[in-house]
Amino acid sequence: MPRSSAKPNDPRVIARQGALRDARRELIVEAAQRVFERHGLEGASIRTIAAEAGCTTGAIYPWFAGKEEIYAAILSESLGRVLASVDQAAREAKSKAEAARDAVAAFYRYYRAQPNELSLGLYLFRTEGVQRVGLKPTLDRALNAKLRAIADRIAQAMTAAGFDAAQERTADAMIHACGIVIMANAGRVKVLGAKSDDLMARYLETALPRQKARARN
């Protein structure tokens, strides 16, 4: 077979190498998420993640120093997707009044479709039950900043719609949405004879009434 004439500094070669590196990293992250969902952060190890990914432990360290960094990467990417969904919903809303509701609804819908990402963010895959848990301070600060960015975007939409106490309303809305998702994922919403989407819609009508928002525009 003829040898490839492509040189190491050929942009096509560099692009292919970059794509391969990204694919390997993504393989590790996806495998780690499955391991974390089964065993939690405490029960996982680089060895079990490597086994799940079908690679050696040494293949992980070029990207991540340890399991906490992988966990943080999973959460960071998830929060980035949430922010993008919230921002898009707010920008594409028909009016400022609808933007606040649509932003909160987008936050809810994302986690309703991806409940395991919420569970990872709240460290619910634990044998010890619900407790305050975190990562290294530097990782926690970065993740908290991303969560704050989501809250700020929702609050911005609420302020533009004319709602007062936007930060407090945002916290209330995000906590309410997360609570519904957790209860629904545990099957408790159905046990109570309710539907999660109906509960969220009712909350939005009560907490962010259209009439009040329009009056403040």
At 177, list the tokens. 């949405």
13 has pLDDT over 60: no
Q: What is the mean pLDDT of residues 22-36?
A: 94
Q: Rounded to whole angstroms, how far apart are CA atoms 140 and 146? A: 10
Closest-CA residue to 185 (of 100, 117, 131)? 117
Range 7-64: architecture per CATH? Orthogonal Bundle (1.10)
DSSP class of residue 2 equals: P
Nearest Cα neighbor of 205 from 114, 111, 97 is: 97
What are the structural domain ranges in the chain?
Answer: 7-64, 68-216
- CATH architecture of the domain with residue range 68-216: Orthogonal Bundle (1.10)
Task: Give the pTM.
Answer: 0.85
Question: Average pLDDT, stretch 181-209?
Answer: 95
Q: Which of 2-11, 133-142, 179-188, 197-206 has the lowest mean pLDDT?
A: 2-11
- C-alpha–C-alpha distance, residues 196 and 210, integer Å: 21
Supply the pLDDT for residue 215: 40
Average pLDDT value for residue range 168-190: 96
Banded pLDDT at 217 (limits 50, 70, 90): very low
